[in-house]
Amino acid sequence: MAASKVKQDMPPPGGYGPVDYRRNLPRRGLSGYSMFGIGVGILVFGYWRLFRWNRERRRLQIEELEARIALLPLLQAEQDRRTLRMLRENLEEEAVIMKDVPGWKVGEKAFHTDRWVPPVTEELFNLRPREEMLQKKFGFQWYV
């Protein structure tokens, strides 16, 4: 039916232009070796920074320890005073509590020797509420 002019979608007169059909895989970017090297370089740089900072932290830690050493006499004296005060209070309370118990010697020592035996936590905190003893024994878990 060449006589009927049906509107069809036809190519433009003269045909289409040239079509670029070849592969386009350009060689660009770094090679695998250099990428690996960059990764390793970043790692090494990170390690260097870490080691430097760790050395600095060690110096700071040593300074803190030296400050503690300088304060040790004071802390030890306070601790000793506290221990002696608690023992004294326990002794006085024991005298009050056990006055009706027959055959009880107040302040009787459990050792035959005359040496000073550092008291145990249970002994110091015997007459106080149990939480205080537990806090003293187990309250301190770790330094930082």
Partner 1 sequence: MPFVDLQSKLGINLDQWLLAQSGEQPQKRAARCHAFQKEWIECAHGIGQNRAKKECNLELEDFYECLHRRKTQQRLYEIRKQKEKMIKEGTYTPPPHHSGNEEARP
Minimum distance from residue 115 beta carbon to partner 1 (Å):
7
Instruction: Note the residues at the interface with partner 1 (CB under 8 A).
Output: 78, 89, 93-94, 96-98, 101, 108, 110-113, 115, 117-118, 120, 122-123, 126-129, 131-132
CA separation for the pair 127, 49 (Å, rounded):
55
Q: Which is nearer to partner 1, 40 or 62 (CB)?
A: 62
Q: Which is nearer to partner 1, 66 or 92 (CB)?
A: 92
Q: Which is nearer to partner 1, 66 or 122 (CB)?
A: 122
CA separation for the pair 101, 105 (Å, rounded):
10
Give the chain's radius of gyration (CA, Å): 43
Q: Which is nearer to partner 1, 49 or 88 (CB)?
A: 88
N-terminal to C-terminal alpha carbon distance within the chain: 96
